[in-house]
Amino acid sequence: MERFTVVTREDDTSVSLGRKISNHLTARNKIFDQIHPEIIISVGGDGTMLHALHQHMHQIDKVHFVGIHTGTLGFFTDYQESELETLLDDLVFGQPTTEEVQLLEVKRFNGDRFEVLYAINEARVENIIKTQSIDVWIDTEYLETFRGNGLCVSTQIGSTAYNRSLRGAVLLPSIRAMQLTEVAGIHHKLSRSLSTSLVIPENYLIRFESKSYYDSILCYDHLHVRLDGVDAIEFRLCKKAARFARYRPTSFIKRLNNLY
């Protein structure tokens, strides 16, 4: 891949590493191209990779991503800071394989009109001001009326992120599924919902309906939009995918072990 760009976290270490990568690659006749890169190199953490993915969402099917972590080993990042030389050699001489990661498609409905958003980790409805009531539908079947702070729909790759803090299960990479978890659900004699997380296969549709989403927000990865005026939200795993350049085998179990 000849045309590259670099997305860095704003700390000194990441900025300096990003500069080294750019200088090294341009000195070897690679082309720095922020508009039409073939490969995007993320320098920072998993959060930096999320920023890089969303910055290039409009051309996600045309670009590859690779990440170097300036903290620990992340889930989106294959190299640690001490492995800079290996990354540089791989970028110049390596032949990567492509790993595709399915995106979560989220539709915000206002009557018949809708807007589409995409997430890599998760999308969640949250209301920290008042109790949010949500009727949950799985395909055409009614599951429950949830009451509480909100609900989170996570992807497999997002299962180690916010989903894990909500006590959702961690899913291994070959599992193509969404996971629905509660955020501070209310459970007593008059209010009941599943309370555990629910793992839902990839071809299903999840629909949240509410009489009012006033004061609620829809967070998707590090981004968010307000839900005032929205009456339903749909979630599904879609054909759109983020493509990661893999220059060497990676171990999910090793990354997981490194997490705690």
State the residues that interact with ligand NAP by CB under 6 A: 45-47, 50, 71, 74-75, 121-122, 157-158, 160-162, 165, 221-222
Q: Which residue is nearest to ligand NAP (CB)?
A: 47
Residue 30 or 77: the one with the smaller Cβ distance to ligand NAP is: 77
Give the shortest CB-46-to-ligand NAP separation in angstroms. Answer: 4
- At 194, phi and psi to the nearest 5? -55, -40
In the complex with ligand NAP, the residue whose CB is nearer, 167 or 248, is 167
Task: State the minimum distance, in angstroms, from the CB of residue 36 to ligand NAP.
Answer: 26
Identify whether 46 is a catalytic site residue: yes
**C-beta pairs of 50-58 under 8 Å, 24+ apart in sequence:** 50/76, 50/120, 50/121, 50/221, 50/222, 51/7, 51/222, 52/7, 53/120, 53/221, 53/242, 54/221, 54/222, 54/223, 55/7, 57/118
Of 33, 46, 61, 215, which is the active-site residue? 46
Distance of closest approach, residue 218 Cβ to ligand NAP, in angstroms: 13
CA 125 to chain centre: 15
State the Cα torsion 245-251-254-255 to the nearest 10°. Answer: 30
Q: Angle CA(126)–CA(130)–CA(131) in degrees, nearest 5?
A: 75
Q: How far apart are CA 237 and CA 119, in angstroms?
A: 10
Q: How far is the CB of 230 from ligand NAP (least distance, A)?
A: 20
Alpha-carbon span 257 to 165, nearest angstrom: 16
Q: What are phi and psi of 93, to 5 degrees?
A: -110, -15
Q: Smaller CB distance to ligand NAP: residue 25 or 156? A: 156
Cβ(182)–Cβ(143) below 8 Å: no
Nearer to ligand NAP, 219 or 232 (CB): 219
Which residue lies nearer to ligand NAP by CB, 93 or 260?
260
The minimum distance between CB 154 and ligand NAP, in angstroms, equals 8
Active site residues: 46
